[in-house]
Amino acid sequence: MVTPLALLVIAIAPVIASPALKIIKYGTTPNGFSSPARGWNSFGLQANGNTAPGWSFDQSHVQAQCDVLASKLHTGGYTYCSLDSGWSEGSNGDQYGRIIPDKSKFPDLSGFATHLHSRGLQLGVYVVPGGFIADKAKHIYGTTTTIGSVCSGDNGLVRCNWDYTRPETQKWFNSVANQFASWGVDFIKLDYITPGSPSNGVNLPADESGEVIAWHKAIAQCGRQIRLDISWKLDRSKKYFSIWNQHADSMRTDQDINNSGSSTLVNWGTVQRAVENYRQFIVASLQYFTIINTHPDLDNLYVANDPSVDGITYAQQQTMMSHWIGAGANLILGDDLTKLSSFGLYLLTHPAAQGITSFTAQYPMQPRNPGSGNQGPKQMQAWISGPSPSGEAVVLLVNYGPDQGQGGFGTTTPGSQHMTISYADLGIKPPYKVYDVWNDNYWGNVSAGLDVGIGEGQSFLLHLTRP
């Protein structure tokens, strides 16, 4: 029974309006790209060998993976075949100290690139900061300057630290980028960048932003369009976020999410952490920018294999895919593509989801808490991408299930939950025609907000258009 006093309190309680929605967009990236990268990266299988018995990191095994991109996933735009750590010589470069392949693993990198390009694919490689300590007596290509005169110390990666104020340093970067371009490289993953790269176990300088700037300049002069992805969990203060935004095409928002050394590739608690780190990324972006020029890299997607291998359920795979799509993030798979599941193929090539991906490559989603429109972490969370000038928007409704320790929201409510969110909470005005993307189901014209039951780990990816 409701008492008269309670009725009085309800009657006079003020209605708190949801905060206004700031629409944020992606612009052209620093190296001229209008959408995030899609493809495959080797690190998941390198770090989780138990998930792919018999696989090894070498040219023939990588080619077998990437040939699947061409044969089954190319229509979904998955074109990058990205080599992670270990493709190159680990302790020295060529006669000019330039990075070179480890020919015991990749005996013909240029030929491999030619093969990929013939199939409509692109080659990615991995680099870390610094010049090799063993190469300090070598001259930088085109100069009489030795590496040791512009590179000192030991960063813990058998490399010295560059003096970015010296023009000869930039000439080293230019010479490496030019050689990469001559081999047919299309994507560079630059790891161990600081501020960021927490708990890295090495001896990095506190600020390696100069490395990012130098690579960007080198790419700009090399005569080939190459993406630059920087890693990992980069500092999101305004000073450094602005540097990443001006010089990198994508930036990692989290540490590695794979289950290193395990029999499965990922776990749901780590996916919760990745989502929370994206939330922090986009909330910071909203404070600093109206246009973001660098796409988020949420780390590899693990949605293409059976749940017994990926380590998350089909529903959780669908939610993971929806999150990476909604973020306008890189869609880089880490699975064994030779064991591509039918559900994975469905997620990666779904026509309507492809259309959503095109939209969110322009408008990244941002959180809007049900009942308030605020942007904190929640177990029952809503996200919105857009709206565009025509009113088009994408909405993601999620039940993450109990926080497994890194989700940020802290609640542990089990089972299916009910979500009601008003258009005011989302920051938009009705009416809208609502389409449930994965279930291929039109909800019709909806004027009173969204009201759904959502199971643990499940989500609804919705496309909203004007009637």
pLDDT given at position 11: 29
* Domains of the chain by start residue, with CATH: 26-362 (3.20.20.70), 380-465 (2.60.40.1180)
CB 214 within 8 A of CB 194: no
Q: What is the pLDDT of residues 270-286, one digit of tens each?
A: 999 999 999 999 999 99
Q: Does the bond joining 377 to the residue before it have cis omega, within 30 degrees of 0? A: no
pLDDT of the residue at 18: 87
Q: Assess contact for 137 and 186: CB atoms under 8 A.
A: no
Q: What is the pLDDT of residue 92?
A: 98
Mode of pairing for the β-strands spanning 80-82 and 365-367: unpaired
Q: How far apart are CA 36 and CA 22, in angstroms?
A: 22
Kindly report, residue by residue over 400-410, the tens digit of the pLDDT: 999 999 999 99
Q: Which of 186, 191, 235, 297 is catalytic?
A: 191
Alpha-carbon gap, residue 442 to 453, rounded angstroms:
17
- Specify the pLDDT at position 93: 98
pLDDT of residue 199: 82
Contact 84, 299 (CB under 8 A): no
- Helix (H) and strand (E) counts for the chain? 13, 21
Tokens of 146: 């030795």
User: Do strands 227-230 and 291-292 pair parallel, antiparallel, or not at all (unpaired)?
Assistant: unpaired
Question: Is 191 annotated in the active site?
Answer: yes
Rounded Cα gap, residues 456 and 402, in angstroms: 8
pLDDT tens string 158-190: 999 999 999 999 999 999 999 999 999 999 999
Strands (E), 256-300: 291-292, 295-297
pLDDT of residue 9: 26
The whole model's pTM is what? 0.95
Catalytic annotation, pick one of 186, 229, 254, 256: 256
Q: pLDDT below 50 — which residues of the chain?
A: 1-15
Phi-psi category of residue 334: left, alpha or beta, with phi > 0 → left and psi -120 to 50 → alpha: alpha
